Amino acid sequence: MASEGKNLIGVDIGSSSIKVCEIKEGRRGARTITRFGFHPLPAETIVDGHIINSSAVVEGLEMLFAKSKRRNVALRASGHGVIIKKIAMPLMTAAELQEQINWEAEQHIPFDLEEVHVDYEVLHERTEHGQMDVLLVAAKKEEITDLTNLAMEARLRPMVVDLDAFTVQNVFETGYGAAASDETSVLVHCGAATTTVNILADGTTAFTRDIANGGNAITEEIQRQLGIGREEAESYKCGGEGRGIVPREVPEIVNQAVDQLAGEIQRSLDFYLATSGDRDLNRICLSGGTANIQALVDILQGRTQVPVEVLDPTRVADVDEKALADLQGRTAQAVVSVGLALRKERERH
């Protein structure tokens, strides 16, 4: 993929907050993260991937861009309106594939093709079997339109819409070097409402899955068991944050909720191993706000017996002083916005 022009500003509109990242690329490809912005959103702003409270999102974007002259942005889509499938097809030319892809999409995508944007990429050509692996992606037009309209309401210019799984993969490949060709790495992005699993084997996507469970479930469990409000439960989950002593029941509640999430991630990994013929996983990299909960790292590592680390997006670039201060304690949450900020104004696949 050749890219030209300036880097786009990465805008990650999540269900609990908006994250914005700007990367400047100098001569000889040296990169610097020059800005990171974070704006919390009120509860129920985004429910099941649908934006319910659009004015809160527009207001947040306007605040984050108040001092910015640059308005060209990359956004991300996720949730039920997005389907990612790896399919095997007979070996064919690019022109034949373009003709054939809609027919394939009809077989594999549970939406009417009129309602979705379809994109695809050839992952591997297995000439000895006369086959190739193709990654098929579909996103609901309505959801993409809602997202881009919101950005435009905040006077932004959306140039690219990328998917959660691929933005995290972008950070991993750029910051950690293309994963060793014989390695299988698992990228797990744990947001507030959804957890996305993307397994990379030999440097390409081999399996993806969305799990409808994330950080909110942990907060809700603390609320339920202690009979307290959402904000208080959220601060206890994050270790107190200025609310004094955390009740002693909290770590146990967090562990129970985290164990459930880790169990669902483990089931996805077991399914992949059982169906792919891959023997072992080399590492699991966590990102998203929920990755800050140490119990998730420990429990997932205990369950899977695979080394687990938190993905560090600052490995893709130097970080200037102001951005470093703003990123403090939020690097795991910044991953998607950093991945989006690596995209360029003019890209040719």
Residue 134 pLDDT > 70, yes or no?
A: yes
Residue 274 pLDDT > 50, yes or no?
A: yes
Mind listing the pLDDT tens digit for each residue in 8-59? 999 999 988 999 999 999 888 789 999 999 999 988 888 877 788 999 999 9
Residue 243 pLDDT > 70, yes or no?
A: no
Are residues 212 and 194 in contact, defined by beta-carbon separation less than 8 angstroms? yes
Q: At what angle do helices 230-237 and 215-226 cross, to 10 degrees?
A: 120
For residue 118, give the 3-state DSSP assignment.
strand
Kindly report whether the global pTM for this prediction surpasses the value 0.85: yes
Residue 247 tokens read as 């009740």
Tally: H helices and E strands in the chain? 10, 18
Domain 2-219+249-348 carries which CATH code? 3.30.420.40
Are residues 138 and 105 in contact, defined by beta-carbon separation less than 8 angstroms? yes
> Residue 326 has what pLDDT?
95
Grade residue 347 by pLDDT with cuts at 50, 70 and 90. low
Helix, strand, coil fractions of the chain, as percent rounded to 5: 40, 35, 25
Which range of 25-29, 103-107, 185-189 scores highest in mean pLDDT? It is 185-189
Contacts (Cβ under 8 Å, ≥6 apart) of 250: 222, 226, 236, 237
The kind and range of the H/E element at 272 are helix 250-276
Which residue has tokens 């992949």? 272
Distances (CA, A) of 177 to 203, 251, 303: 10, 36, 27
Which residue has tokens 């991993």? 172
DSSP for residue 1: -
CB atoms closer than 10 angstroms to residue 129 = 10
